[in-house]
Chain A
Amino acid sequence: MLGWTFQKVFIAIIALEEGHEVVVLTVKNKKTIDLIRHHFEGDSSSIAMNNFIKEKSNISPFFYISVLNQYPNQGAYDGCTKSNEKSVGIKVICRDQQWTQYASREDLANLEKSYSNTGLDFIFSPFSLIEYYFADKIKTGLALYAFGLPNLFSVAIFEGKLEYAYHYTPTNSDLMEAEEDAEALTFSSPVIEEEEEEEDSIVRLDDLEDLDLMDDLDSLGDLDDLDEFSDSSEFSEDSLTPEEKRVDKENGIVLIKGELDRSNEEYSRFEWIQKTLERFYASEQCQNRFIETVCIADSGSGGDELKRYLEEELFLNVLIRHVDVGVGINALAQLEEEAL
């Protein structure tokens, strides 16, 4: 009733591999007043994060805390049937009476329990974000849409309405498999070869995670950043002291590892898209249709390799949108709040 006189605070919590990102959007009468983002370290919600959220939620009595459901037991399917949702243990949302998002009740309860200190107002599905990010596209032709975070990857095929969907959650075995598969691709990394030669001069490489992966890096090349690093390293070799060289090499290895992880992640995504396409083509929903376009909403800055994989291997037209997940979640929360 008097809600229009108050500011509204939308708080999005995004669980990342290394901590949480909290995006706070303050609006009044649909005008953005403030947008704050803050990163907190730690796997679970920390005291600092809870305090930050409580501090921001004290701005207005109308505050909404939202999270993205990143648990594996979720998905979407064509059609709207709710008859067995309780017996199966899922909760469903029917979208436009055409397609359905679902999630495990147990996972939702766990999610609410995880954030019991601050409480939750909205839990969104990644498929809602796909729908939101590509609202201008999904009503047009048949295309594959994907949304990725470091720890989830959701794929949906839309043609006006949802045709097919699959939700992937990376596991260690997936990553290892991706690494092995990535070897098959003809990439080379001269820098890494050089690092292998100078292995004895590298201090405490054992401290790095997945060190054994470094042995297999000869197939991961064609990384511009790595080339540049290699060049600069060689260029300044004469002028650097042994200690400086060691530090530079360590930094280089970290960089390489980051690139390697991203490369593995992107290859996993490539594989998931490929699997989804194979499943779709094998399913009844296909009806002899052919997907030519792939739209990917990526929260990171990468995606170039994935785009290249898809274009070169699967001959797809690829559109990558770099999105802000926190902003997207808050936008969905705003839509929900307006509908209240």
Chain B
Amino acid sequence: MKYSFITPRPKRFISDEMRLSFFFFAVSIAMVVGTYFFLLYKTVHFKDEHTSFSQTIKDLEASTDVLEKKIGVIDAEVKMHEQIATDNTVLKESIRNLFDLVPDQITLTRAELDEKSLILYGITPTKDTYSFMLQAPLKSIFSRTYTSFYPVENGWYSFVSSNYLDDDANTTEGGNEE
């Protein structure tokens, strides 16, 4: 201060009542604006989430398709597995039955089992032993049976028995070849 011993009181543009009113107006406006921005944020956030969820849904749908395809494949594989297992069981049973058919006198050296054929390689003491003890059951099972004998050094016979199962199971043909 150049001349005065005291400094003047601060001067305000507006009275205390007006200040109070302005304060409440300001608070109200701030609340409205705050709410507006909150809702705006929430809307944007919701839209983002919506987009995100839509994308997720699309991805999941795509995944579902892929999974459904995989499930189809797996189902097919399961069916195939079951078929194979059944076939294997049947085959196993068939092999067991086959080996049950082979008498002690005859020794098998090789067996080729196919779906509709059975080729046996072995040694038999005599042709009759083979004919009576092995060929007879084979003929009852297969439609066609062909046997070839080859004499070996000790007087026994090596044989090859080819047995085929036709589609028509009732057809039974047989023949012996030496």
Contacts and interface: CB of A to CB of B under 8 A. Distances in A.
Interface stretch (A48-56, A123-131, A135-143, A240-248): A123-131
B13 A61 contact: yes
Contacts of A340: 8
A123 B8 contact: no
B4 interface: yes
A95 B4 CA distance: 11
Size band of the interface chain B makes with A: 10 to 19
B5 A91 contact: yes
Contact of B4 (A62, A63, A122): A122
A249 to B, nearest CB: 48
Contact of B2 (A3, A91, A121, A335): A335
A103 interface: yes
Interface residues of A, number: 30
Contacts of A152: none
A91 B1 CA distance: 12
A124 B9 contact: no
A128 B6 CA distance: 14
Interface string B160-174: 000000000000000
Given A61-B14, A336-B1, A123 B9 contact: no
A318 to B, nearest CB: 27
Nearest to A66: B4
Contacts of A7: none
Contact of A112 (B3, B6, B13, B15): B6
Interface of B is mostly: loop
B9 A339 contact: no
17 contacts: A61-B12, A61-B15, A62-B11, A66-B4, A93-B4, A103-B5, A108-B5, A119-B9, A121-B4, A121-B6, A123-B6, A124-B3, A124-B5, A128-B3, A335-B3, A336-B8, A340-B8
B66 to A, nearest CB: 69
Interface of B: 1-6, 8-9, 11-15
B5 A69 contact: yes
Interface of A is mostly: mixed
A64 interface: yes
A6 B13 contact: yes
Contact of A336 (B2, B12, B13, B15): B2
A122 B6 CA distance: 6
A1 to B, nearest CB: 9
A2 interface: yes
A93 B5 contact: yes
Contacts of A64: 8
A95 B6 contact: no
B4 A336 contact: yes
A178 interface: no
A208 B4 CA distance: 40
A120 interface: yes
B77 to A, nearest CB: 84
A144 interface: no
B6 A120 contact: yes
A93 B1 contact: yes
Interface string A63-103: 11010010000000000000000000001010100000001
